[in-house]
C-alpha cells in the first residue's frame, strides 16, 4: 500500500516555532530561486522592501509592548476622568456580562473565565471601583487629584489583569474625540451656544480641558499605531518564510502572504510581552493558522474543515520527515495509528478528505480533445446493440400484425399494450369497440390462432435467434 499517497502534501516541511530564516537566505536556496523565476515584479519589489526591515530583538519587543500598554493606560485614564464615560464603562460591563461577550472588551477574558469564582470576584470588584470613582467625580465636595488617581490606578490594574481590546478603547474615547472634532469645526464666538445641552451636561468640564484630553487620546492612538506598524514591518519576512512552505498547495504566493498578514495583525493584537516568549514564536502560530484556513476554504473544489487540514499537515510531517528518515520507508496505517494515537477508522476517514475530485471535462491526454465524459457509460441510456435490436423487432412485429385484419390487429395491440401506454382488459377493449368482452375474447382467440401459424412462428423464431 503506497502510504505516502495518503498524505495531502507529500513534501510539506513544517516550521518549528523558532525556525525563522532571513528573507535573504530564503531567496538564495534552490527552492527560493524557483519561486523567484515565477514571481511578478510587484512580489519581487515587496521582497526587497521586506528585506530592509530587520527582526526585532527581545529587548525591542518588550520596549514596544510596554509603549503600547502605557499609551493604552493613558487613554483609559483620560476617559475615566469624565463621569459619563465611567457610567458608559459600567454599562458596557453589565451588557457584555449578560450577553456573555466580555471577551470583546478584554483580550484575556477567556482564560479568566475558566475560573468561574475568580471571574465573578474580578467583575464585582471592577464594578465597585467604577462606582466609587463615579461618586468621587460627581460629589459636590472638591476631591483631591490624588484620591481620584488612586482609584483609577486600581481600575487599570483590574483591567490589565485581562488586558483591554481596541473595541473597549474606542468605546470609551469615541464621544470625547467626536466632541473635539465638532468643537474645532465651529469657528465663531458663540461656539458653546451651538452645542446642545446634552453635550454640555455630558462632560460637565470646560471645553478647553476636553480638547486637551482629546488631543492626548489622539496622540496615544498614534503611538499605538506606530508601535504596531513596527511590530508588523519587522515580522513580514516571517510571513514570507511560512507562506513559501505552502506555495505549492494550489494558491498564489501573493495570496498566502496577504492571509499571513492578517494572521500577523491578530498576533500583534493578542501579544503579551510580559509572558516572556519572543513575538516571532507567538506570531508563527497565528500566521500559519490564517494561511491554512485560507487553503482549506479556497484551494479545493470541496471545502475541508480547517481542523482536518491541520491534522493532515501533522500526518504529512510524520510521513515526510520523522518516520521516513528514521525507518527509510513509508508508514503503514497501523504505524500512523500508533504514532498519532488515532484509531485506524479515524485515519481512514481523514484520508478520504485527501482525494481530489476529477472533472468529467478533463482531457484524457494533453494532446487530445477527448474528455473523460466520453468514456463513461450512461446507465440510463440504451446500448447501441439493444437499440438496433429493439427497432428491428418492432418493425417485424408491425409486419406480422399487419397480416391480421384491422380489427384483430387493434384488439391484439390493446390487449398486449403493443404501441400503447399499457395493456387493456377485455372489458376495456369491449368498451372501445362497443361490444361485449366475450366478443373481444373471441376476436383475440382467432387472432392468436392466426399468429400461431407455423410460418409466422418460424418468422419470429428466426428474429429472436439472431437477436440473442
pLDDT digits (tens, 9 = 90+) for 291-347: 888 887 776 767 777 677 777 777 776 665 677 667 777 788 888 888 888 888 888
Q: Is residue 374 part of a domain?
A: no
CA gap 271, 258 in Å, rounded: 20
Q: Is residue 298 domain-shared with residue 444, that is, in the same domain?
A: no
The range of the structural domain enclosing residue 35 comes to: 3-55+234-352
| pLDDT value of residue 190 | 56
* Average pLDDT over every residue of 37-63: 80
Q: Is residue 134 domain-shared with residue 228, that is, in the same domain?
A: yes
367 band by pLDDT with thresholds 50, 70 and 90: low
Q: Is residue 300 domain-shared with residue 425, that is, in the same domain?
A: no
| pLDDT value of residue 116 | 75
Q: Is residue 42 domain-shared with residue 66, that is, in the same domain?
A: no
Q: Is residue 78 domain-shared with residue 152, that is, in the same domain?
A: yes
CA neighbor of 3 nearest in space, from 349, 336, 339, 350: 336
Q: Is residue 33 part of a domain?
A: yes
Angle, vertex CA 194, rays to CA 190 and CA 197, nearest 5: 125
pLDDT, tens only, 285-295: 899 889 888 88
| pLDDT value of residue 204 | 65
Q: Is residue 376 part of a domain?
A: no
User: Which of these three, 330, 352, 374, is where a domain ends?
Assistant: 352
Res. 20: pLDDT tops 50: no
Q: Is residue 75 domain-shared with residue 214, that is, in the same domain?
A: yes
CA gap 393, 399 in Å, rounded: 10
Q: Is residue 141 domain-shared with residue 229, that is, in the same domain?
A: yes
**Candidate from 256-270, 301-315, 399-413, 433-447 with smallest mean pLDDT:** 301-315
Task: Enumerate residues 6+ apart whose C-beta is below 8 A from 418.
Answer: 397, 401, 412
User: Which of these three, 203, 233, 263, is where a domain ends?
Assistant: 233
CATH number at residue 453: 1.10.10.10
Q: Is residue 68 domain-shared with residue 217, that is, in the same domain?
A: yes
Q: Is residue 360 part of a domain?
A: no
Indicate the number of domains in the chain. 3
Q: Is residue 223 domain-shared with residue 242, that is, in the same domain?
A: no
Res. 22: pLDDT tops 60: no
pLDDT, tens only, 199-228: 444 456 777 888 899 999 999 999 999 999
Q: Is residue 413 part of a domain?
A: yes
Q: Is residue 370 part of a domain?
A: no
Q: Is residue 333 domain-shared with residue 398, that is, in the same domain?
A: no
Q: Which of 92-96, 290-294, 354-358 has the highest mean pLDDT?
A: 92-96
Q: Is residue 364 part of a domain?
A: no
User: Which of these three, 302, 327, 352, is where a domain ends?
Assistant: 352
pTM: 0.61
Q: Is residue 41 domain-shared with residue 155, that is, in the same domain?
A: no
Q: Is residue 358 part of a domain?
A: no
Bridge partners of 371?
A: 363
Q: Is residue 180 domain-shared with residue 262, that is, in the same domain?
A: no
Res. 55: pLDDT tops 50: yes
Amino acid at each position: 500500500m503506497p502510504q505516502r499517497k495518503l498524505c495531502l502534501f507529500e513534501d510539506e516541511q513544517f516550521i518549528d516555532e523558532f525556525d525563522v530564516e532571513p528573507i535573504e537566505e530564503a531567496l538564495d536556496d534552490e527552492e527560493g530561486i524557483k519561486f523567484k523565476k515565477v514571481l511578478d515584479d510587484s512580489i519581487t519589489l515587496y521582497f526587497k522592501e521586506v528585506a530592509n526591515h530587520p527582526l526585532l530583538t527581545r529587548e525591542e519587543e518588550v520596549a514596544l509592548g510596554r509603549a503600547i500598554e502605557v499609551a493604552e493606560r493613558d487613554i483609559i485614564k483620560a476617559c475615566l476622568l469624565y463621569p459619563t464615560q465611567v457610567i458608559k464603562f459600567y454599562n458596557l460591563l453589565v451588557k457584555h456580562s449578560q450577553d456573555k461577550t466580555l471577551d470583546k472588551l478584554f483580550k484575556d477574558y477567556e482564560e479568566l473565565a475558566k475560573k468561574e469564582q475568580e471571574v465573578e470576584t474580578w467583575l464585582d470588584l471592577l464594578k465597585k471601583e467604577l462606582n466609587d470613582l463615579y461618586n468621587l467625580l460627581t460629589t459636590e465636595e472638591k476631591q483631591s487629584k490624588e484620591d481620584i488617581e488612586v482609584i483609577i490606578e486600581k481600575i487599570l490594574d483590574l483591567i490589565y489583569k485581562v488586558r483591554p481590546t481596541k473595541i473597549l478603547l474606542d468605546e470609551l474615547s469615541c464621544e470625547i474625540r467626536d466632541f473635539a472634532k465638532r468643537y474645532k469645526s465651529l469657528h465663531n464666538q458663540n461656539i458653546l451656544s451651538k452645542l446642545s445641552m446634552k453635550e454640555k451636561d455630558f462632560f460637565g468640564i470646560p471645553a478647553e480641558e476636553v480638547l486637551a484630553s482629546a488631543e492626548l487620546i489622539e496622540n496615544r492612538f498614534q503611538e499605538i499605531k506606530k508601535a504596531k506598524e513596527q511590530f508588523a514591518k519587522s515580522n513580514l519576512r516571517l510571513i514570507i518564510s511560512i507562506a513559501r512552505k505552502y506555495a505549492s498547495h494550489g494558491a498564489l504566493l501573493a495570496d498566502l502572504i496577504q492571509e499571513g498578514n492578517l494572521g500577523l495583525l491578530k498576533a500583534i493584537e493578542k501579544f503579551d510581552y510580559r509572558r516572556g516568549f519572543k513575538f516571532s514564536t507567538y506570531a508563527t502560530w497565528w500566521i500559519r493558522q490564517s494561511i491554512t484556513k485560507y487553503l482549506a476554504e479556497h484551494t479545493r473544489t470541496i471545502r475541508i474543515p480547517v481542523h482536518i487540514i491541520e491534522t493532515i499537515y501533522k500526518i504529512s510531517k510524520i510521513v515526510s520527515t520523522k518516520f521516513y528518515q528514521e525507518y527509510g520507508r513509508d508508514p503503514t496505517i497501523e504505524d500512523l495509528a500508533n504514532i498519532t494515537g488515532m484509531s485506524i477508522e479515524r485515519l481512514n476517514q481523514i484520508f478520504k478528505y485527501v482525494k481530489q475530485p476529477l472533472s468529467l471535462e478533463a482531457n484524457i491526454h494533453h494532446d487530445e480533445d477527448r474528455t473523460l465524459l466520453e468514456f463513461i457509460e450512461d446507465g440510463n441510456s440504451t446500448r447501441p446493440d439493444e437499440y438496433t435490436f429493439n427497432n428491428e423487432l418492432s418493425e417485424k412485429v408491425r409486419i406480422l400484425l399487419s397480416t391480421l385484419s384491422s380489427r384483430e390487429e387493434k384488439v391484439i395491440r390493446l390487449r398486449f399494450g403493443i404501441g400503447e401506454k399499457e395493456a387493456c382488459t377485455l372489458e376495456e377493449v369491449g368498451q372501445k369497440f362497443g361490444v361485449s368482452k366475450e366478443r373481444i375474447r373471441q376476436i383475440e382467440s382467432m387472432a392468436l390462432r392466426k399468429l400461431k401459424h407455423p410460418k409466422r412462428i418460424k418468422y419470429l423464431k428466426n428474429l429472436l435467434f439472431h437477436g440473442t
